[in-house]
Amino acid sequence: MNKQTIRDIDWSGKRALVRVDFNVPLDKDGNITDDTRIRASLPTIRYLLENGASVVLMSHLGRPKKKVVESMRLRPAAERLFELLPEAQEVKKTEVTTGPAAEAAAESLKPGQVLLLENTRFDPREEANDPEMAQELAKLGDVFVNDAFGSAHRAHASTEGVAHHLPAVAGFLMEAELNALMGALEHPQQPFVTIIGGAKISDKIGVIENLLPKVNALIIGGGMANTFLLAQGYALGDSLVETESLDLARSLIEKASAANVKLLLPTDAVIADAFSADAQQQVVAVDSVPDGWRILDIGPETIKLYQEALEGAKLVIWNGPMGVFEMEPFAKGTRSIAQVLADAASTNAMTIVGGGDSVAAVEQAGLADKISHISTGGGASLELLEGKVLPGVAILRDK
């Protein structure tokens, strides 16, 4: 990574303005049900406190649509942070994001103290990357630290705009994400296998086209595999397909062949007569899907085929599930891939899970701690894999 980090700053007596990702899930009573994202920010916050800084944190939560929504206040995040960070002298919380009250709260901080601002998306100027809001945020710190990789693909006032007014460096989480993802893409170890799943080709076309010249094999699963199969002439009953993407699928098959890349598609599937966990199910070859039935997971022969393709890989990037893993009867394909990646990581392969549903599947399978790198940013990791420049990264100081 060619960006400066918090290690490049003398923090003694300085106030760090840190963009974190505290967009955590809450239950109906406002209790945090998964604090992974808060825990991920702790190494950066601890380093700043240990090196003499006071810390002002900013984050969004949910989609309040540019207005104050009481259930989306960050108070629960502040309380959990204080529990997780006992070494902080105090974790304060403001009810505002910018303005005189926020400035007074920030200026009152002593080294070792932490302040969490209110939800940045309560302010209608945030998502517009309004220069005035960016200037107001800049008054709250001496140096800007971006540690919210999950929001780095957004050019918002708190992710990109503020960096025009303060020295801007990466936190440890941002550094880890960029080193893993960009390192894999710029200097891929061979053999390199990519697994792409999810519902639609149109959502992943950029990723596939960017990775095709780099990989040895491309494994396709999930609903998007159906469109490739339909493009090859298979009848798929009531399966999810993108009829408008058939030419695109044919083009990708041709590009893979021209690049001498193995493109692997399902040979059998778990099908059901309804989109329901209680539906009737059976395993069939992909050329034998009856009318009225739909593909909801890859079948056992396909699992074996994909496992064999992953044997010996030195680098594996996975984005998107193999089926409707949220329903237990159709989770086996996705879990099998998760297990293969966990096993590969134990043999020194670099295994990367790129955000979103794939992360949920790995965590559901209890294998998260066995994967080399799990990205905290679904949209951000997807755009990075597409080869796009992330605004929240580009604005940071170069080394």
Domain parsing of the chain, residue ranges: 6-173, 181-385
Tell me if residue 332 is catalytic.
Answer: no
Q: Is 397 a catalytic residue?
A: no
**DSSP strand pairing (294-298 vs 90-93):** unpaired
Contacts with 58 (C-beta within 8 Å, 6 or more apart), sequence order: 17, 18, 19, 20, 97, 116, 117, 120, 137, 158
- Position with higher pLDDT, 216 vs 363: 216
CA distance 380 to 383: 5
The answer on pLDDT for 356 being more than 90 is no
pLDDT band at 74 (very low <50, low <70, confident <90, very high): very high
Task: Please write the tens of the pLDDT for every residue from 123-163.
Answer: 999 999 999 999 999 999 999 999 999 999 999 999 999 99
Residue type, 385: L
Question: Which CATH homologous superfamily contains domain 181-385?
Answer: Phosphoglycerate kinase, N-terminal domain (3.40.50.1260)
179 membership: H or E segment, kind and range: helix 172-186
Domains 6-173 and 181-385 share a fold: yes
How far does Cα 169 stand from its chain's mean position? 20
228/215 Cα distance (integer angstroms): 19
DSSP state of 54: E
Separation between Cα atoms, residue 318 and residue 334, nearest integer Å: 11
* Contact status, residue 297 vs residue 269, Cβ threshold 8 Å: yes
Residue of 356, 377, 378, 392 with catalytic role? 356
Write down the catalytic residue from 3, 14, 37, 332: 37
Strand partners, 146: 19, 170
CATH of 6-173, one of 3.20.20.100, 3.20.20.80, 3.30.1330.10, 3.40.50.1260: 3.40.50.1260
CA 328 remoteness from chain centre: 23
Place of tokens 């599947």: 361
Q: What mean pLDDT is predicted for residues 15-20? A: 98
User: Which pLDDT band holds residue 361 (cuts at 50, 70, 90)?
Assistant: confident
Query: What's the one-letter identity of residue 191?
Result: P
How many other β-carbons are positioned within 10 Å of the β-carbon of residue 362?
25
Task: Name residue 249's amino acid.
Answer: A
Per-residue pLDDT, averaged over 111-122, amounts to 97
Q: Cα separation of 327 and 47, whole Å?
A: 41
Match 């505290």 to its residue by tokens: 22
Which residues are 19's β-sheet partners? 58, 146
Q: Are 143 and 169 in contact (CB under 8 A)?
A: yes
Cα–Cα distance between 354 and 78 in angstroms, integer?
A: 28
Q: Is 73 a catalytic residue?
A: no
User: So what's the pLDDT on residue 101?
Assistant: 97
DSSP 108: T
Closest to 273 (Cα-Cα) out of 322, 241, 227, 239: 239
133 residue type, one letter: M
Q: How far apart are the first and last CA of the chain?
A: 9
Q: Is residue 89 scored above 90 in pLDDT?
A: no
Among 62, 206, 379, 397, the active-site one is 379
Question: Using 50, 70 and 90 to split pLDDT, how confident is the model at 363?
Answer: confident
The dihedral through the CA atoms of 182, 186, 191, 195 has a sign that is: positive
pLDDT of residue 364: 85
Structure tokens at 372: 């080399």
Whether 333 is a known active-site residue: answer no
What is the average pLDDT value for the chain, to the nearest integer? 94
Among residues 46, 200, 214, 397, the one annotated as catalytic is 200
Q: Which amino acid is at 23?
A: N
Are residues 32 and 77 in contact, defined by beta-carbon separation less than 8 angstroms?
yes
For residue 188, give both structure tokens. 């891929």
pLDDT above 70 (res 355): no
Residue 65 has φ and ψ, to the nearest 5°, of 60, 50
